[in-house]
Chain A
Amino acid sequence: MNGPLIVQSDKTLLLEVDHEQADDCRRAIAPFAELERAPEHIHTYRVTPLGLWNARAAGHDAEQVVDALVLYSRYPVPHALLVDIAETMDRYGRLTLSKHPAHGLVLTTTDRPVLEEVLKSKRVAPLVGERIDPDTVAVHPSERGQIKQTLLKLGWPAEDLAGYVDGEAHPIDLREDGWTLRPYQKQAVENFWHGGSGVVVLPCGAGKTLVGAGSMAQAKSTTLILVTNTVSARQWKHELVKRTSLTEDEIGEYSGTKKEIRPVTIATYQVLTTRRKGVYPHLELFDSRDWGLIVYDEVHLLPAPVFKFTADLQARRRLGLTATLVREDGRESDVFSLIGPKRFDAPWKEIEAQGYIAPADCVEVRVNLTDAERLAYATAETEEKYRFCATTATKRKVTEAIVRRFAGQQILVIGQYIDQLDELGEHLDAPVIKGETSNTQREKLFDAFREGEINVLVVSKVANFSIDLPEATVAVQVSGTFGSRQEEAQRLGRVLRPKADGHQAHFYSVVARDTIDQDFAAHRQRFLAEQGYAYRIMDADELLAGEA
């Protein structure tokens, strides 16, 4: 009766982290509960049907779940909740997708009424073929993803036992010279490979690329890697050449500028989702080779059309990589049904504690608008309001003060509005990377920054994703894409890569007080605060005074 866990009526689980059994408890509940918030004292996990089915997919049963809750709970667990958990988990696996020697892909059931129920659904009817026997119905092989998605929505998730095609073999090995996969990366690769397909959740900077490389070395087959943008594609290529037996020639880039198809091909979401005359001309990429593995980088950004294509790729192994399963569009269930269940995750703070990502000091600096700006803000059109408050002149002064304070360290200034960035670049005497900067110029500047030739770099949101700036120790965010939580996480990620000298990273967010900028900032920070990154709040005056 003195466990570390408290079960709430809304199916959240509160875990007291300072409790002596906290670690055991976390391990026991992690398979079925999603970590929702991880502030300093009490972590919040949520039990959702999706999470429970994830657990079933990973081979856990209801009894284990109930036992874990009952064992660690401080207060008695309401009976109704236990019954509900058992019933929900029981829904998984009543339906199975499998290969039938004569009929191809079939949906079978162990519980006939369930099959009758789902077959009655209008959405399932077009996906299935003839009834083979009372418990079996044929499924059109092309609808394997669709039917999984639909059945999940009906609350009867199907277990996919139809297996995978091996794909075209291609030798890939990790070249572990002077480095090895970290334990959690190994674990992630192992869990993924064991499970067949699925998603690995790791914090930014925790080496997701290496999990991808490790998985490729396991698959040893041709691989299609889908990434968010060209810079990221180059980085993947660079990393793969460096860490694996693959050579430059074996890796192709399929983007707006190049259209190479090689045994390992890296394509951008953008090129795949380009539409011409109502068709997606680059879809053939999926069929251009007999891919054995498909890697989705940044699954939480996966655009809707890619889900649709993915539905057709259910026979191939799929690996999703992401820092967070939170999607701003709420399509987490599509990730589950089409790419696969979560196979591995680790809280940020834990990896930080292991020394694999740098500790960060997050500070929100509140600046006051001048009287003139306040009036302008008050009278601005709604859509202009954010721009007005986000680009206040005071932010420039604060940014300069921060840059002065950390003079000599590698500093990134990140913002949304080009005018503001140009002005900052001018005042800080730093180069500005924005949409119109060419890729060559970008890489040149990044290299210079990496080498320490430049200390301060001003970047727009083009640098949001996957750029690797190992020596950035300070980031200053002056404006952002409204309230995007994952952008904030990505930006913080810029400074979380472990520092050579092991010193602390700093993340500054400059926010205009009493405006929607402040509201957006609060929304953006919520994810990080929930991950345990506590923001300090400072007044601009304090900061400016401190330096004077």
Chain B
Amino acid sequence: MSGDEKPAAAPRSLAEALRARDDASLAALLRARPDLITPVPTDLTQLATRAGTRASVVRALERLDRFALQTAEALAVAGDPAPYGELLALMAGDDRDPETAAALPHALGALREQALVWGDKDRLRLVRTARELLAPSPQHPSPTGLGPTVQEAASGMSPGRVQEIVAAAGLPSTHDAVSAVTALTALFTDRARMSELLADVPADSLQVLDRLVWGPPYGQVTADPAPRLRLLLDRGLLLPTAPGTVVLPREVALHLRAGRAHRTPEPVPPAVTASAAHPAPVVDATAAGQAYTALATVEELLKDWDEGGPNVLRAGGLSVRDLKRTAVALDLPEPVAAFWVELAYAAGLLASDGEADERYAATPAYDDWRELPPADRWARLARAWLAATRTPGVIGDRDAKDRTLSALGPGLDRSAAPEVRHRVLSLLAALPEGGAPDAESVLARLRWERPLRGPRRDGEHDLRARLARWTLSEAELLGVTGRGALSAHGRALLGAPPAPAAGHAADDVPAGPGDKLPVHRHRPPRPAGDPHGPAPLTPAEQADATAAAARLLAPLLPEPLDHVLLQADLTAVAPGPLRRPLADVLGVLADVESKGGATVYRFTPASVRRALDAGRGAADLHAFLAEHSRTPVPQPLAYLIDDVARRHGHLRVGAASAYVRCDDDSVLNEILADKRSAGLGLRRLAPTVLAAQSDPGALLEGLRALGYAPAAESAAGDVLIARADSHRTPPRTAPEPVPDGPPAPDGTLLSAAMRAIRAGDLAATAPRRPPADAPPADDGALPRTSAAETLATVQAAVLTGEAVWIGYVNADGAASQRVIAPVRVEGGFVTAYDHTADEVRTYPLHRITGVAELAEEAAADPS
């Protein structure tokens, strides 16, 4: 682009090309490749250098859509630099496919913008790193399936062989190999002459070429090739690369492919098709119904966890058992339950309480959230969902360390999630109103937009496709979509404008109408694979979009009711959502039997008792039911409440530490009347029984102090004979005796010790021959010899198999004397049997201070 604008000064490097770009264009580059400004480069040269680094180029290539990538791949096999015409021929073929030709300038523009391509129209250059990454080599076959050029393939051939080929191809012989290769290349790239050449080739040889033409271009041949291969080899239509391997030169392949670098260029993104279309009101109503269910589910989840949720696993997260239990409580499949748990977490409604015994619980934000109007509550959830990187879908997968990923646990973040989510919903938004997408077409489109982020990455099973599928199902669960189609409030949430009118579906061009790119784009709209698609909304825009979504949703949500229908089979049906206080009370008074649009409650004796336990009286309950029932309270229900209330509290239970009983109730009267008994916490339960809050011992003391003579009673009611208990410790072992010296050694220990001592002794005292050219060392001192002598002596010892005496300094600098029988000397190390340590050891030669042969008799001795 920049090159086109200033044809006068053709840039000579990427840096110059960047320097020539205007501010807007540079800004676009930096927006597309934010890694270039972290940290901010000092000048454009540094920026260009950074843009050429492998990591950055890989990242940029991964964000290309399929056509832009194909264009880059074509440039990688074209000349460097390549004129636009050559690129066009590679992409659109000899027949100049109009669709491809039309899309090519956009793709090239995108590559230029991302600084992957620079140079003016006649000298297009792919950044060198990109070229290296994309150009075919035997190790990394290119997606184009093209092989090396004639020049590359012929570089290893003898000049004579080259001349033979030139002759066989019917060209005049030349005086050097270089011009011969050039002539051959010229022949191969000339369509007319090439056709003539191939016309002579028999059919069976052409079949061989056909097999290689779309790649891989390499083939195996035997030492004595069949005639049909021989013919191809002779004419240079196949060139040998290594013994037994031949390759189809790039020029030949391109001729056979009619000039195309790709079998199927994909200039146009695959359209997202609608599998069904529903009337917009149905979509919105269904989505709203689901949105309400979402709110109810989250509330139910947190109500279930209200009095202390499940424990946090030590590694973080929710145990499988707790997730199962929660799923059962919510009456949902586990993956769906996991989604709601994660959603509540992402929305900040639940978290770990951080106590020593860590559990999950609702956050204070949950209480605030509950006070919001339903539509706002939903919008909060939906906004949290859009931005979340945590993906409940991977729960149950195994991480790199083969640990199962748990809900709310670590390792659930997938940074691509928000982008994919946004992209999928944008694609939905581009469908005509009420259109439910065909999931496969959405996936195909996503694959087209990010071909390099496909199934091969990370060994993970096509994460983007999985994310897209989850997005579709989660959007339905959350009520962003209804019947698979994006709802009006879902659309508002994205900040997307109203749906295109039906009939303009095919117009699903570039980046969708939700594109928020700055208006500097004076070029035609870019291909839909545009990496920054609709730019993320700013926080202010987000807030507006959220509010707009809530506004659209609010009238669709069912109005909470203040009444129920009571029936004689002891059920109550709330034909819609209930106002909260009513729902809360009814939830205590009756068991929920079925949920959905309505709620069915069943009254049972246990549920009525629960209400009575919660402090409500029978009259209170009757009044409550009468007030909220549209229908008369059925007699069996009224009877049930009275019947349970009649027995409620009939038995009383309390705690006492001790009791006093006496057959003579006047004595108990006396005790109660005595002021001194106040501290004992006595209460009369029956004429002859007092309960006390003090323990039996204190009670006995207290009563004695009052002048009575109480006797203690056992649990069975017998009189306890009071006698002081003997105090005992818990079980203890007797102390071990501590003898004066070490214990007497046993036989094994003794013999081992003896062996060690003798070996050490041998090392210290072995009679040694003094080295020939050194003064005999004092007894006990380390032998000292020169390094060369040490090496020679040790090597000699290896040959003779004799033991030698060495002085050795270990890594700590401690010196010792050892008797060793060298086995091997190599790489500066001596491997030897050490008589002193009784094992085979390795000594670095440089640590050996000196070496001396043992005296004959001593050498024979240790064995």
A-side interface residues toward B, CB under 8 Å?
A: 1, 6-10, 12, 14, 16, 37, 39-42, 44, 70, 73-80, 82, 513-514, 526, 529-530, 534-537
Contact = CB atoms under 8 A, between A and B. Distances in A.
Contacts of B222: none
Q: Which 6 A-B pairs have the closest CB atoms?
A: A8-B596, A534-B568, A76-B289, A75-B597, A529-B569, A39-B567
B75 interface: no
B628 to A, nearest CB: 14
Interface SS of chain B = mixed
B598 A14 contact: yes
A12 B594 contact: yes
Interface string B730-751: 0000000000000000000000
Interface SS of chain A = mixed
Contacts of A76: 282, 285-290, 482
Interface string B596-635: 1110100000000000000000000000000000010011
A535 B575 contact: no
Contacts of B575: 6, 14, 16, 42, 74
B191 to A, nearest CB: 49
Q: Sort chain B's interface into a size bin.
A: 35 or more
A16 B639 CA distance: 25
13 contacts: A37-B569, A39-B568, A41-B567, A41-B573, A42-B567, A42-B571, A73-B597, A78-B286, A78-B290, A79-B290, A529-B570, A534-B636, A537-B635
A151 to B, nearest CB: 26
A44 B597 contact: no
B571 A8 contact: no
Interface in B512-570: 558, 565, 567-570
B636 A537 contact: yes
Given A6-B596, A75-B558, A14 B573 contact: yes
A4 to B, nearest CB: 10
Contacts, number: 104
Contact of A39 (B569, B597, B639): B569
B483 interface: yes
Contacts of B569: 37, 39, 526, 529-530, 534
A39 B647 contact: no
A213 B293 CA distance: 51
Nearest to B596: A8
Given A10-B595, A14-B600, A529-B569, 10 more contacts: A6-B576, A8-B597, A16-B575, A37-B569, A42-B567, A78-B289, A79-B476, A82-B483, A534-B569, A536-B636
Contacts of B476: 79-80
A44 B600 contact: yes
Given A16-B575, A42-B573, A74-B575, A10 B631 contact: no
B600 A8 contact: yes
A10 B331 contact: yes
Contacts of B483: 79, 82
A8 B594 contact: yes
Interface in B453-485: 476, 482-484
A6 B289 CA distance: 12
A299 to B, nearest CB: 25
A86 B643 CA distance: 47
A25 to B, nearest CB: 14
Contacts of A537: 635-636, 639
Contact of A9 (B286, B331, B484, B636): B331
A9 B598 CA distance: 9
Contact of A10 (B282, B285, B596): B596
A207 B289 CA distance: 45
A12 B639 CA distance: 28
A16 B573 CA distance: 10
Nearest to A537: B639
Nearest to B573: A42
B598 A77 contact: no
B286 A77 contact: yes
Contacts of A39: 567-569, 571
Nearest to A16: B575
Most buried by B among A12, A79, A534, A537: A79
A174 to B, nearest CB: 38
Contact of A75 (B573, B576, B636): B576
B825 to A, nearest CB: 68
B111 to A, nearest CB: 42
A38 to B, nearest CB: 9
Contacts of A41: 565, 567, 573, 631
A121 to B, nearest CB: 25
Contacts of A79: 286, 290, 476, 482-484
B638 to A, nearest CB: 9
A82 to B, nearest CB: 8
Contacts of A80: 476
B595 A9 contact: yes
Contacts of A9: 293, 331, 594-596
Given A77-B286, A78-B289, A514-B647, A8 B576 contact: no
A432 to B, nearest CB: 32
A421 B287 CA distance: 62
Nearest to A4: B575
B563 to A, nearest CB: 12
A8 B598 contact: yes
Interface string B225-241: 00000000000000000
Nearest to B481: A79
B568 A6 contact: no
A8 B600 CA distance: 9
A99 to B, nearest CB: 39
A1 B571 CA distance: 25
Nearest to B288: A76
Interface in B276-329: 282, 285-290, 293
Contacts of B285: 1, 76
Contacts of A75: 289, 558, 576, 596-597
Nearest to B599: A8
Contacts of A10: 331, 594-596
Most buried by A among B288, B290, B594: B594
B568 A535 contact: yes
B742 to A, nearest CB: 72
Contacts of B639: 537
A529 B636 CA distance: 10
A77 B639 CA distance: 37
